[in-house]
Amino acid sequence: MIQTLDHGPIRELRLDRPPANALSPDLISALRQAVESAPGDGAQALVISGSPRMFSGGLDVPYLIQLDRPAIAATWRDFYAMMRALATCPIPIAAAVTGHAPAGGAVISLFCDHRVMSEGDFKIGLNEVPVGIPLPPVIFKAMRRVVGSRQAERLCVQGLLISGDEALRVGLVDELAAPDRVIERAVEWCRSLLALPPRAMAVTRNLARADLAALFAEETGAEVEGVLEDWFSAETQKTLRDLLERMAKRKG
C-alpha cells in the first residue's frame, strides 16, 4: 500500500492502493507507520506522492460506510494519529500532489511543509460539507494555518474543490509542476532544505511548525468522539448513502 523509494537521504512514500489511493484503515495505518519510522531509518526528509493523475481520493467511503461504530472509531483514531505523525515529524516533508486530492488527500498535504501540485485538470480541497461530513476542527485549523482565515472559511464552508491555479493563488499549494516533474520538484525542494546549515534549519523549522504540532499537544479523544457522533448522524449517513447510490448509477 506504500511504496518506499529512496532518493539519497530523501525517502519517497508513494501511496499505492489502486485505483484512487482511497484511504482505507490499512492505508491510513501504513502511512502513519512509514512516516514515524523514516527518521529512525536514516531518512533526512520525506516526499509523499501518489499515482499519476490521482494523489488520493480521500476516505474510502464505500468501505467505511459498512463498518460498525467500534471499527469506525478505530479508523478515526488512527487518522488522527496519522495527522499527528505528519504534524510532529522531525524531518521536512514535501507533498507531491500528483493529481486529484479531495478531502483526505488534501488533508495529507496540509500537514506537510511544502506542496507541489501537478499542472492540469486536477482538483484539490476539503469537500466534506457537500458529502454531509462536518469538517473536524483540527483539519479546519490546519487549513486556516495554510491559507488564512477568510480563504479557509470560503473553501471549507462551501466544500470547494479548486484547480491547481486557484490553489496556488490562495496558497493551498506552493508551486505547480508538469505532471512528470511533480515528484522531482518535491525532491529538489527537500534537497534545498538539506543544503542549509542543519541545526539552524531544524530549530527554525520546529519554531515555524510549533502551532501545527500544538494541535495535537492535548488529548484529541473528545474531538474524535464528536467526529464519530457526526459520522453516525442521520444527515451524514443519508448524504453518504445517497452519494454512493449516485456513484453506483454512474458506474452502471
Q: What is the pLDDT of residue 248?
A: 80
Report how many domains make up the chain.
1
pLDDT in tens, 185-220: 999 999 999 999 999 999 999 999 999 999 999 888
pLDDT in tens, 138-148: 999 999 999 99
CB 34 within 8 A of CB 13: yes
Angle between helices 221-231 and 234-251 (to 10 degrees): 60
Note whether residue 52 is domain-resident: yes
Q: What is the pLDDT of residue 62?
A: 92
Return the bridge partners of 3, or none: 14
Note whether residue 213 is domain-resident: no
pLDDT at 249 over 90: no
Note whether residue 17 is domain-resident: yes
Assign 3-state DSSP to the chain and report helix, strand, coil percentages, each to 5. 55, 15, 30
Q: Could you tell me the residue range of the domain that residue 92 belongs to? A: 2-199
CA angle 155, 161, 167 (to 5 degrees): 75
pLDDT at 160 over 70: yes
* Full-model pTM: 0.96
Note whether residue 234 is domain-resident: no
CB 131 within 8 A of CB 173: no
Q: What is the pLDDT of residue 250?
A: 78
Query: CATH number for the domain including 152?
Result: 3.90.226.10
Q: What is the pLDDT of residue 251?
A: 73
Q: What is the pLDDT of residue 252?
A: 64
pLDDT at 11 over 80: yes
Note whether residue 183 is domain-resident: yes
Average pLDDT, the chain: 96
pLDDT in tens, 67-101: 999 999 999 999 999 999 999 999 999 999 999 99
Percent of the chain with pLDDT over 70: 100
pLDDT at 229 over 90: yes
